[in-house]
Homo-oligomer: A and B are copies of this chain.
Amino acid sequence: MENSLYRGLFGDEEISTHLSAEAEIAAMIRVERALARAQASAGVIPKDMAQTIDQGLKHIEVAPVDLIAGTTQSGIPVPGLVAALRAALPPEAAHWVHWGATTQDIMDNGLVLRLALMLRSLESRLHKLTHQLADMADAHATLPMAGRTRSQIATPITYGLRVAQWMHPLLDLSDRIPAVKEGLKKVQCGGASGANSAIAPDGPAVMEALAKELGLAPSQPWHTNRVILADLSHWCATLTAALASMAGDITLMLRREIGELRLQGGGGSSTMPNKTNPVQAEVMMTLGRRVSGLTASANLAVQHTEERDGPAWMQEWLVLPQILIGTGAALNHAIDLIANISPDSNRMAANLALDGGAAQAETASFALAKHMPRAEAQALVKKAASAAREHERSLIDAVKDLAGDVDLELDMRKDAAIAGSAEIVAQLVDRARA
C-alpha cells in the first residue's frame, strides 16, 4: 500500500519485513559470501580471498537508498550492490566477489532463502488456525443448524460440520506444504546465460558447493523455469480463497436477519450507533478476490523468453510480494476472527424452525418413501410444506396428518442426521489433530 492508513487492514508486518529492501540486500550479501566460499571449495577462486570476502562482508550494511539509482538505471540492484561490496574490501579480494555469477543467481537464491522463512511463518499461522477450527468444530459437532444450498435453507446440519468444512480445504493445503517447501529449496547457479560459461568447467562443482553452503538442493539453472514460484502463488491463492469462503459464511451468519453468530469487536460506523461491521471478515473477502486477480499475473510471469526475460521476471517482483502479503494478512485476520465469534444456538434453532421446520422436508420425504412410492411421498411433503407455511404449524405435524397412521420415526431420523454431521466432523477433526 502506498497509503499507510490501510496497513492494519491489508498489510502483514512480518511478511513485509522479509520482503523489504533491507532483507533483500541482506539475503543477497549472504549469497555473495556463500558463493565465495563455494567457489573456493571448488578451487575456482583462492581460498584466502574467499575468506577475506566472507569475513569482510559479514557485518557490512548497504543502505537501500544507495542502491535505488543504480537499480533504476540497470533494472536490477546487483551491479550497484556488487560495487558497494567491492568498495568495502581490499582490491585483491574485491576482484573475486561475484565471480562468474549473474544477477539472477544472487537474487533468486536470496529469494528462496527468504521465501523459506515466509512459508514457515504462513505455515505456523495456518497450523494455529486449523487447530482453532478443529476445537470449534469439535465443541459444536452436534449443534443443529440449517444447512443452506444455493442460498436457500436446505436440510439440517450441525454448526460443527460447517466449521469442519471451513477447515477441510485448509487440511488439504497443509498437506501440500511439504511439496511446496521442497520445491523452493532449489539452488540457482547458472551464470550469465545459464551455462556457467565464465567458470566452465567448474560449473557443476560450484553449483553443488553453493547448494550445500545455502542449505538448498542442487539444481539445473531455473532462470526461466519458474514452476516452483507458480506453485507457491497457487498455494497462497487457494488458501486465501478458502479463507474468503469462511469469511463469506461468517458475514452472512453475522447479518442481523440470520444472527447465527455473534462477534466480539467489529468496526463502528461514523454515523450509525447501532452498527457493528464485520471488518475482518470483509477484509478476508477482499483479499480472496484480490489474490485471485493476481494469479493471472503470476501465471503470465511464468512465461519467459530466451535465457532471461526482463518483463516476465519483473512481473514476478510486482506480483509475488502482494500475493504473499495478502495471504499473510488474510491468515492473521482469520485467526483473530475465529477467536471472536461464537454461535447463537437460539437463532440457529429459530431458523431451523422457519416455515414449520421446512428444512426437514427431505427427511420427511425419505421417511415417507419407506411406506409409499417416492414420487407420492415427495408430493405429499410438498403439500404439507405449503400447509405448514400458510397455517404456521409444524411441517412434521402436517405430514403426519396427511400420511395417516404411518410410523415415520421422524425424530429418530433427525437424531441420525445430527449424528451424520458429527461423524464427518470427527473424521476431519481427527485429520486436523493427526
Given known pairs A272-B192, A278-B150, the reply for A19 and B2 (CB within 8 Å) is: yes
A345 interfacial contact with B, CB 8 Å: no
Is B285 a contact partner of A292 (Cβ separation < 8 A)? no
Given known pairs A152-B277, A249-B305, the reply for A172 and B227 (CB within 8 Å) is: yes
Give every chain B residue within 8 A of A363 (Cβ-Cβ).
197-198
Given known pairs A103-B270, A241-B303, the reply for A165 and B150 (CB within 8 Å) is: no
Give every chain B residue within 8 A of A238 (Cβ-Cβ).
227, 230-231, 234, 299, 302
Is A68 a contact partner of B427 (Cβ separation < 8 A)? no
Give every chain B residue within 8 A of A19 (Cβ-Cβ).
2-3
A393 interfacial contact with B, CB 8 Å: no
A17 CB to nearest B CB, Å: 9
B-contacting residues, A291-306, CB 8 Å: 291-297, 299-300, 302-306
Given known pairs A273-B378, A363-B198, the reply for A5 and B64 (CB within 8 Å) is: yes
A128 interfacial contact with B, CB 8 Å: no
Give every chain B residue within 8 A of A308 (Cβ-Cβ).
148-150, 154
A293 CB to nearest B CB, Å: 4
A230 CB to nearest B CB, Å: 5
A95 interfacial contact with B, CB 8 Å: yes
B-contacting residues, A1-42, CB 8 Å: 1-10, 16, 19-21, 24-25
CA distance A155 to B294 in the complex (A): 34
CA distance A283 to B196 in the complex (A): 27
A71 interfacial contact with B, CB 8 Å: yes
The interface size bin for chain A is 35 or more
A354 interfacial contact with B, CB 8 Å: yes
Interface 1/0s, chain A 175-199, versus B by CB < 8 A?
Answer: 0100100010000000111111111
A257: contacting residue among B157, B276, B310, B351, CB under 8 A: B351
Is B417 a contact partner of A275 (Cβ separation < 8 A)? no
CA distance A175 to B161 in the complex (A): 35
Is A16 a contact partner of B4 (Cβ separation < 8 A)? no
A252 CB to nearest B CB, Å: 7
B-contacting residues, A224-253, CB 8 Å: 224-228, 230-231, 234, 237-238, 241-242, 244-245, 248-249, 251-252
Is A303 a contact partner of B154 (Cβ separation < 8 A)? no
Give every chain B residue within 8 A of A325 (Cβ-Cβ).
2
List the one stretch of A52-60, A74-82, A118-126, A209-217 in contact with chain B.
A74-82
CA distance A290 to B317 in the complex (A): 11
Is B267 a contact partner of A74 (Cβ separation < 8 A)? yes
A282 interfacial contact with B, CB 8 Å: yes
A197: contacting residue among B153, B381, B420, CB under 8 A: B420
A195: contacting residue among B223, B270, B420, CB under 8 A: B420
A256: contacting residue among B149, B355, B413, CB under 8 A: B355
Give every chain B residue within 8 A of A154 (Cβ-Cβ).
192-193, 269, 272, 274-275, 307-308
A248: contacting residue among B25, B152, B305, CB under 8 A: B305
CA distance A65 to B3 in the complex (A): 11
Give every chain B residue within 8 A of A302 (Cβ-Cβ).
169, 238, 241-242, 245
A369 interfacial contact with B, CB 8 Å: yes
A-B contact pairs, 18 of them (CB 8 A): A9-B75, A73-B267, A79-B270, A95-B373, A147-B195, A147-B306, A149-B306, A151-B306, A152-B275, A152-B278, A155-B272, A169-B227, A195-B417, A241-B302, A245-B304, A279-B310, A286-B318, A289-B297
**Closest A-B pairs by Cβ, 5 of them:** A8-B72, A147-B193, A282-B310, A293-B297, A149-B308
